[in-house]
Structure 1
């Protein structure tokens, strides 16, 4: 284990001058990499440019494959204890069920979608990292990242310098690590913005399932969360920065259940974001590696974003451990395993988004095709395996 020398800023937490692995970004991806490395006895330092508690809570779905990869890290049982199990996912056109997807028959210990906020997922991962002797140094903003044949050197905005054998970019779509490494980010941007809100509602929303509503006006996802909350995610031409009850109500009236109206009583929290569909041209540049949104971004349809990042992180933690022990080729194996998965996830989320936003004239043919396919058990099983992430098992 590396001997640390620490320097301390009067405004920030202490930061070591040396570490085995520097992880930039303390979201679910970065924290999972850190937990994996700490559990294997390696010295890991995580930095984040936000103060504790400053993160928003975009993701709310943890799929079966994600729970499988988190199980050996001592995290899954804690997530399951705090989340809501949703054993069913449906694609609907208003009240009409087009495709029902049941997770109960999947070959996994987690035959359901777990609904839990990203904030809670991060809190549990932080708790586990602390138990393993690690923590996150905040707030530190990466300014410059260079490397030579032996190590990577990170310079923070306050002048602090950290040298690491490897550096991990888990710092999101606008990754400074990726930019400093000179890695391209090929793709484009969806024309629509996305509105996100946690609300209290009553009415015609089905209980105990995640619903993707298709509509010519755009898609809307309605999913249960702990505490009697529902997460709403919807496309919008220009989503408001802080959606109010009237805005969310209008979305549900236009796209959600029709026979029994869903009534919004309170908006607990809301935000907006724009979504790109991009994959990094490479996952590795020497001693710098990427994971999560720094490596791939896509539509939220299907709830694959955070899950794909955590699955990246679990594989990367093992690869970095091997590299630290002398098998540096393991990092190439990581890229070979995970980059194709990102391409599949981006394509899958894109297809769901395109299907959801088809124009009114194409809608009857789409609905007929989906309902016909949904009668085929193999189609439903394949969709369940793809949504759950089990299709990406190594």
Structure 2
């Protein structure tokens, strides 16, 4: 049952919403989390947690149990079929976590939920937001079952089709087309590709990401012209034959789960309107190229949780404007980065030799390789996600 009032209402119990809630609960803030789904999803899209995100999650006590359930990838390669065009080594990253952690989003959500529970919080299901009055000194959220909650602040972490964003009247800028079509699947394959490496295959029809997961599973993500609703083994094998290695090709032996989705390149016009704040996919969506989406959302969440904790402790609410001012430019940069990776993959045949030559040249320049590795790992965000609030409250839990 929902409380009649709360300090912070978080709408959406994905990685972003759960991280906001855990960050606030760790500071002793009264936080209520709701989600419209009756149960957590057992399958999900994101499969990589980068080094900086692991640093951020460590502040709220999540990284150790998450790392224990994931697989560490020490390299990221860009390939054109059998040719390795660029190798990025994460082993020398200036981080406690010099790798990319490969783990299903459903596992990430489970670990975050466990941490929230240890801090005294829970997720209330299923509650569908239908109304939001946010013009007074408190926001009032109404739900489909007739209940309502008064909150000092409302956080929209409810994804690309955010009801919070819509009810707050915040625009979501971007192209009006149908968006990029992607196919994704968790499969078992006979493959000679390394199990400690994520590979991005560049191909004229579109990019293909090959990422190992624990227990011998491989996550495939591919941009396609029109993804089928339920891609089967034959469709996935055709993708690998079309874009993957040729000398010793992969062979799909089992499909554990498959799906499709479309992604637009969009950013919310603002991250705050009155007592409503946005984070994660409610604030920004883009191509999965580079595996940045969930990571950016989690980092949004810790920054927002720290700022809200400070405001609730008596600091001026301009800190929430500062949150928006710091995080929105990062979203713009990530959207551009993902779009550039997609364009790189889909160059016409005439441009591919020059592209491959340029990537090989970059591969031979260690400072450039390192700069790209730092970018992929998210470590450029260190200057934009302050530790305020978390350190002050570290002894309270």
TM-score (norm 1): 0.95
* 2:204 aligned with 1:229: no
**Alpha-carbon distance in 2 for matches of 1:254, 1:389:** 31
Size of the alignment, in residue pairs? 381
**Alpha-carbon distance in 2 for matches of 1:393, 1:332:** 19
1:152 aligns with 139
Q: CA deviation at 1:238?
A: 1.3
Superposition map of 1:233-252 within 5 A:
233-252=221-240
Moved more, 201-210 or 115-124: 201-210
Unaligned runs of 5+ in 1: 1-13
* 2:336 aligned with 1:336: no
Unaligned runs of 5+ in 2: 384-397
Q: CA deviation at 1:358?
A: 1.0
Q: CA deviation at 1:55?
A: 5.6
Q: CA deviation at 1:176?
A: 0.6
Superposition map of 1:22-101 within 5 A:
22-54=9-41, 56-101=43-88
1:5 aligns with none
* 2:267 aligned with 1:275: no
1:202 aligns with 190
Whether the 8 Å CA contact 2:183–2:260 is kept in 1: the answer is yes
Q: CA deviation at 1:323?
A: 1.4
Q: CA deviation at 1:130?
A: 0.4
Out of 338, 350, 374, the residue aligned to residue 361 of structure 1 is 350
**Alpha-carbon distance in 2 for matches of 1:287, 1:311:** 20
RMSD (CA atoms): 1.0
SS at match of 1:350: helix
* 2:281 aligned with 1:293: yes
Q: CA deviation at 1:196?
A: 0.5
Whether the 8 Å CA contact 1:199–1:265 is kept in 2: the answer is yes
2:390 aligns with none
**Alpha-carbon distance in 1 for matches of 2:191, 2:160:** 36
**Alpha-carbon distance in 2 for matches of 1:31, 1:87:** 27
* 2:176 aligned with 1:176: no
**Alpha-carbon distance in 1 for matches of 2:344, 2:107:** 31
**Alpha-carbon distance in 1 for matches of 2:191, 2:51:** 29
* 2:376 aligned with 1:384: no
SS at match of 2:370: helix
Whether the 8 Å CA contact 1:190–1:277 is kept in 2: the answer is no
**Alpha-carbon distance in 2 for matches of 1:42, 1:326:** 12
**Alpha-carbon distance in 2 for matches of 1:347, 1:195:** 21
SS at match of 2:349: coil
**Alpha-carbon distance in 1 for matches of 2:53, 2:201:** 24
